[in-house]
């Protein structure tokens, strides 16, 4: 059972480049989300999805797009990378919205992104 | 609105001594509260969660947290620290998505 798989683990981009961070889960979870982790700021929610075809913005959505065409996959797209997007990105999934039934979230190992 | 404040950015203890990591929350309704741990270069792992069934919550690796509504706190404790407890700890409150505290880095000295 792989859980939540993120790829790549490391990436260096030039300013203005685009890329997609991949996230896949094999637990049939409805809820998936993306976070960025910056020193001294904890994790901040970028976007989340409560099921296939449904996405919504979190705390820091600007500069990022998401889509949810299947239950398993929730890719995060950077359309035009900026140095301010240098961060560690985590994808998470859970059976339902975390505030319902106090559902545990499962996290991927993270993607360390540097934009130069 | 909801938010969570971790009162210490860094806590250092000696092995075998108690651990206290402090968390205060604000929420306009009964919150869902969690503690997660992140070991170096790893993802996050659930330590424990508040389910409203009991105010004292027991988690993995000997950690506990007590929900105190009157103090809006959810502090994490462990009676005796182990070297393997050295990590970053996050207090989390949820609505829709999870809202994380800034984190507390726990250092355990031999």
pLDDT digits (tens, 9 = 90+) for A28-81: 999 999 999 998 888 999 999 999 999 999 889 999 999 999 999 999 999 999
Give the pair of three-digit tokens for residue A85: 């997007």
Task: Give the pLDDT mean for A3-28.
Answer: 96
Give mean pLDDT, residues A5-14. Answer: 96
Higher pLDDT, B80 or B3: B80
Give the one of B43, B99, B103 whose C-beta lies nearest to A90's C-beta. B43
Measured between beta carbons, the chain A residues lying within 8 angstroms of B51 are 102
- Give me the residue from A40, A43, A108 closest to B90, CB to CB: A43
Residue A114 C-alpha, separation from nearest chain B C-alpha, in angstroms? 16
Convert the pLDDT of each residue in B43-68 to its tens digit. 899 999 887 778 899 999 999 999 99
Q: Quote the tokens at residue B15.
A: 């092995």
What are the CA-CA distances from residue A73 to residues A18, A58, A66, A79 (Å)?
Answer: 19, 18, 10, 19
pLDDT greater than 70 at residue A101: no
Query: How many residues are listed for chain A in this entry?
Result: 116
A42 and chain B in contact, CB less than 8 A: yes
Q: Following DSSP, what letter does each residue of A79-103 receive, concatenated?
A: SS--GGG-EEEEEEEESS-TTTTTP
A64 touching B, CB under 8 A?
Answer: no
Q: A114 or A42: whose pLDDT is higher?
A: A114
Mean pLDDT of B69-82: 95
Residue A1 banded pLDDT, cuts 50, 70, 90 = low
pLDDT at residue B94 above 60? Answer: yes
Residues B13-36 have a mean pLDDT of 90
- Report pLDDT for A11: 96
- Of residues B1 and A97, which shows the higher confidence score? A97
Q: Sorting pLDDT into bands at 50, 70 and 90, what band is B36?
A: very high
Cα separations in angstroms, B81 against A36, A74, B25? 29, 38, 25
Q: B42 to chain A: which residues are within 8 Å by CB?
A: 109
Number of Cα atoms under 13 Å in the Cβ half of residue A84 = 6
Name the more confident of B45 and B30.
Answer: B45
Position A97 pLDDT exceeds 60: yes
């Amino acid at each position: 059972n792989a859980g939540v798989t993120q790829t790549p683990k490391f990436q260096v981009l030039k300013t203005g480049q685009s890329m997609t961070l991949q996230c896949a889960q094999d637990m049939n979870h409805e809820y998936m989300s993306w976070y960025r982790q910056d020193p001294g700021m904890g994790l901040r929610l970028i976007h989340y999805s409560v099921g296939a075809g449904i996405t919504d913005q979190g705390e820091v959505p600007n500069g990022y797009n998401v889509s949810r065409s299947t239950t398993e996959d929730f890719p995060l797209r950077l359309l035009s990378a900026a140095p301010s997007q240098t961060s560690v990105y985590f994808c998470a999934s859970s059976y339902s919205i975390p505030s319902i039934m106090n559902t545990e979230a499962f996290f991927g190992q993270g993607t360390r992104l540097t934009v130069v | 609105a909801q938010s969570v404040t971790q009162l210490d950015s860094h806590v250092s203890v000696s092995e075998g001594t108690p651990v206290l990591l402090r968390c205060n929350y604000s929420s306009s309704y009964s919150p869902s509260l969690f503690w997660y741990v992140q070991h170096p270069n790893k993802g996050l792992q659930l330590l424990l969660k508040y389910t409203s069934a009991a105010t004292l919550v027991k988690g993995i690796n000997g950690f506990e947290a007590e929900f105190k509504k009157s103090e809006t706190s959810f502090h994490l404790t462990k009676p005796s620290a182990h070297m393997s407890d050295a990590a970053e700890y996050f207090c989390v409150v949820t609505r829709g998505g999870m809202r994380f505290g800034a984190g507390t880095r726990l250092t355990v000295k031999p």
